[in-house]
Amino acid sequence: MTSNDDAAPGTMLERGAGVAVWRQIEQILAKEIAASGFGEDGRLPSEGELAKRFDVNRHTIRRAMLGLAAQGLVSVEQGRGTFVQPGAIDYTIGRHTRFTENLRQQHHAPAGTMLSAARVKAEPTVAKALGLRAGALVYRIESLHEADGVPLTYARNFYPAARFTGLPDVLERTGGITKALAEYGVSDYLRKWSRIGSVLPEPEVARRLGINRQQPVLWVENVDVDTEGTPIKYGFTHFAADRVQLMVEHDV
């Protein structure tokens, strides 16, 4: 039995066929994406339009969209709609991890924005990672990075305030953390370690990345050190999982 008998061949739903309705919709839309069925801008119809087309409720459509996003086929952008994903960006994590270099090497346009900066007392986890005493002052810097105008990462990073006095002002003036650190005599820095995981985003993370809260994000916890091995940064970076693939590089 079908609920959209006037649909084109291969796009009809089969009730009671042993395959969930949302999964059938996901499969139908995946075929249409493969056939370039959504025009040059790649924008899919709204949830309401798809619900009407398939004669289902919006919750069913939302599950299908999340399924497509999990496959990396679409990007769900909060407030804008759902778009065919042109292909996830390979983001390399190695001893020399640099956002701008990562993006430019793949011919993408990178952009970064410092969202907030505050001098705060280091919580135990932050203090331990930076080799500081508990309660030492650190700068907490919140930032957003984009690729081709689309949010890709949202990060909260911590830097020792005693070593990098006035860092937020220098960062704003120089426009990048590598240039800012150079003014403090840090000519180069390396990734000491990274821990990678996946989680459903907090409301703030979802809002900054412009994604649905039911859409998982990748997170990377890390510590960077200077060439002497002294920790200079500890932080968390959240990645929109349907827009990026993390590639761990083993530097020689």
In which band, very low, low, confident or very high, does the pLDDT at 251 lie, cut at 50, 70 and 90?
A: low
CATH of domain 21-84: 1.10.10.10
Specify the pLDDT at position 115. 97
182-210 average pLDDT score: 94
39-46 average pLDDT score: 86
Specify the pLDDT at position 11. 60
Specify the pLDDT at position 187. 93
Q: Is the predicted pLDDT of residue 132 greater than 80, yes or no?
A: yes
In which band, very low, low, confident or very high, does the pLDDT at 107 lie, cut at 50, 70 and 90?
A: confident
Specify the pLDDT at position 4. 46
pTM over 0.85: no
Please state the three-class secondary structure of the chain as a single string: CCCCCCCCCCCCCCCCCCCCHHHHHHHHHHHHHHCCCCCCCCECCCHHHHHHHHCCCHHHHHHHHHHHHHCCCEEEECCCEEEECCCCEEEEECCCCCHHHHHHHCCCCEEEEEEEEEEEECCHHHHHHHCCCCCCEEEEEEEEEEECCEEEEEEEEEEECCCCCCHHHHHHHHCCHHHHHHCCCCCCEEEEEEEEEEECCCHHHHHHHCCCCCCCEEEEEEEEEECCCCEEEEEEEEEECCCEEEEECCCC
Q: Is the predicted pLDDT of residue 88 greater than 80, yes or no?
A: no
Specify the pLDDT at position 86. 67
Q: Is the predicted pLDDT of residue 135 greater than 60, yes or no?
A: yes
Mean pLDDT for all residues in the chain: 88
Specify the pLDDT at position 14. 79
Q: Is the predicted pLDDT of residue 99 greater than 90, yes or no?
A: no
Q: Domain spans of the chain?
A: 21-84, 89-248
Specify the pLDDT at position 8. 45
Specify the pLDDT at position 87. 64
Specify the pLDDT at position 208. 94
Query: Going by CATH, does the domain composed of 89-248 fall within 3.40.1410.10?
Result: yes
23-41 average pLDDT score: 86
